[in-house]
Chains A and B, each alone.
Chain A
């Protein structure tokens, strides 16, 4: 059974701070890793993806991947109240298999 684990939170940070979200996965063969943001009652919205070890930056967001530790993280710099949402980690097996396995999400609240 492939598992993706996230701390459910809630995680609260003050406006302007760095929010750090973590995710671990069980399938060592996983190839692609995604972070989605989901506002209450809405669909998952892609923030970024990563598939190589190391860091990947996109604006205020940085994804970090460590395949040896089976660990993915998302850093949000200069957090804004509009970043308040549930952040979903999703993992794809790679190759011809494309189904995403989602974590339960971490609820982030950015306090003004």
Chain B
């Protein structure tokens, strides 16, 4: 069964450093998403991406965040200058855009900012 994959599973970085989180969405899906979940808190929407551009973003997704689809399979989230409060699980999701447009989540990347 097709699934969303994410790398790395765990990323440790120093405050102020740049990180890139990578995702490979399900191959025939057209919409891609990033969510984050701070430990013990709700899953929060960050951004959605369609047709090589951002379609929606939340107020969390400020100028330090960016997304890119550098090739036909990868979808990345870049955090330019990490802060302690960026420590969270980051989930990539994808959907095919049809019907109920259900979103399927990857296993997540745990980001720890020291």
Contacts and interface: CB of A to CB of B under 8 A. Distances in A.
A90 B104 CA distance: 13
A46 B100 contact: no
Interface string A48-77: 010100000000000000000000000000
A97 B48 CA distance: 9
Q: How large is the interface on A (under 10, 10 to 19, 20 to 34, 35 or more residues)?
A: 20 to 34
Interface string A22-44: 00000000001010100000111
Interface stretch (B11-19, B37-45, B66-74, B79-87): B37-45
Contacts of A92: 101
A99 B48 contact: yes
Given A98-B48, A104-B42, A32 B56 contact: no
Contacts of A42: 107-108
Contacts of B103: 34, 46, 98, 100
B44 to A, nearest CB: 7
Interface of B: 31, 33, 35, 41-45, 48, 55-56, 58, 89, 91, 95, 100-108
11 contacts: A42-B107, A43-B107, A45-B105, A88-B43, A98-B56, A98-B101, A99-B45, A99-B48, A99-B56, A99-B58, A100-B43
